Amino acid sequence: MTTLTHRARRTEVGKSSEKKVESEEDTNQDRCPDHEDFGDSKDIRLTLMEEVLLLGLKDKEGYTSFWNDCISSGLRGGILIELAMRGRIYLEPPTMRKKRLLDRKVLLKSDSPTGDVLLDETLKHIKATEPTETVQTWIELLTGETWNPFKLQYQLRNVRERIAKNLVEKGILTTEKQNFLLFDMTTHPVTNTTEKQRLVKKLQDSVLERWVNDPQRMDKRTLALLVLAHSSDVLENVFSSLTDDKYDVAMNRAKDLVELDPEVEGTKHSATEMIWAVLAAFNKS
């Protein structure tokens, strides 16, 4: 069950509260989906997977919620979107028989290394796979959710730990050992809280002060991160610090965003198809 479908701490969200936090539309321009875009060059450069994991980690404890069974597939979806936004993969063009995003196969555009181990490992799998696979199938294969023993080779292992180590190297997390009665577990508490708060503030602003009410006008990486945070069930972590009124508005707008029809949004001018294909895959699962 994803972030927007269950709430125990908040009262039922009312559309009327949105009137209290109306703001001017943002003037952000679309960015080309085929080029790398990490935002402000002054910020530490993070991949979408690193941002999703950082949002899901408990700051002091250094691990994600034991009840979150969505983040694993969410991280794999982030890998596919990141590769598409870096111009390495794309969806095959639509045809009469394959119009839907979920029916179209993932194709290789460039096999040049990205410098990220997980991205390059996935790129190698996509390049070597024949016949080609769809977005939904790739998420399942990379997560290891397949009954075909010959396809288990595509599973990406220790993904959270490998992403956490990247964040340690970037000075955002640290590594500790914690004892949980019967076993020891490696944890990664947040040390650079400024970077995490910057990330949280960026997402909060995207649905409040900088809300544009049109996903095609949103910054593409921010749009992708909102979709992935929802699919990974970590969006509650992003909005939990807001006041009740702003929380209601933020959740309503995020809900409206992820409930858009991916098939319609994916065909619009300047749309990044992979973002909507990943959302369509999670909506179906």
Give the model's pLDDT for residue 11: 43
pLDDT band at 184 (very low <50, low <70, confident <90, very high): confident
Give the model's pLDDT for residue 62: 85
Is the separation of the CB atoms in 238 and 62 below 8 Å? no
Residue spans of the domains in the chain: they are 63-157+192-283
Give the model's pLDDT for residue 63: 85
Decide: residue 206, CB within 10 A, 0-12 exposed, 13-18 middle, 19+ buried.
Answer: buried
Instruction: Say what the alpha-carbon torsion angle 234, 238, 242, 245 is, to the nearest 10 degrees.
Output: -60
Domain range 63-157+192-283, its CATH number among 1.10.569.10, 1.10.3630.10, 1.20.190.20, 3.40.50.920: 1.10.3630.10
CA-to-CA separations, 93 to 22, 100, 101, 266, in angstroms, rounded:
39, 10, 10, 12
Q: What is the pLDDT of residues 203-243, one digit of tens each?
A: 999 999 999 999 999 999 999 999 999 999 999 999 999 99
Q: Give the start-end residues of each E strand in 182-257.
A: 183-187
Could you tell me what percent of the chain has a pLDDT over 70? 84
d(CA 202, CA 221): 11
Q: What is the pLDDT of residues 41-59, one digit of tens each?
A: 455 799 999 999 999 999 9
d(CA 11, CA 144): 37
Overall residue count recorded for the chain in this entry:
285
Terminal C-alpha separation, the chain: 10
pLDDT band at 246 (very low <50, low <70, confident <90, very high): very high
CA-to-CA separations, 31 to 28, 49, 82, 256, in angstroms, rounded:
9, 20, 14, 22
Pairing of strands 106-108, 176-180: unpaired
Is the separation of the CB atoms in 224 and 41 below 8 Å? no
CA-to-CA separations, 207 to 6, 40, 119, 203, in angstroms, rounded:
19, 19, 29, 7
Give the model's pLDDT for residue 43: 58
Look up residue 208 and give its two tokens. Answer: 């409040």
Strand partners, 91: 106
Q: What is the pLDDT of residues 17-45, one digit of tens each?
A: 444 444 443 433 333 334 444 443 455 79
Q: What is the pLDDT of residues 258-279, one digit of tens each?
A: 999 999 999 998 899 999 999 9
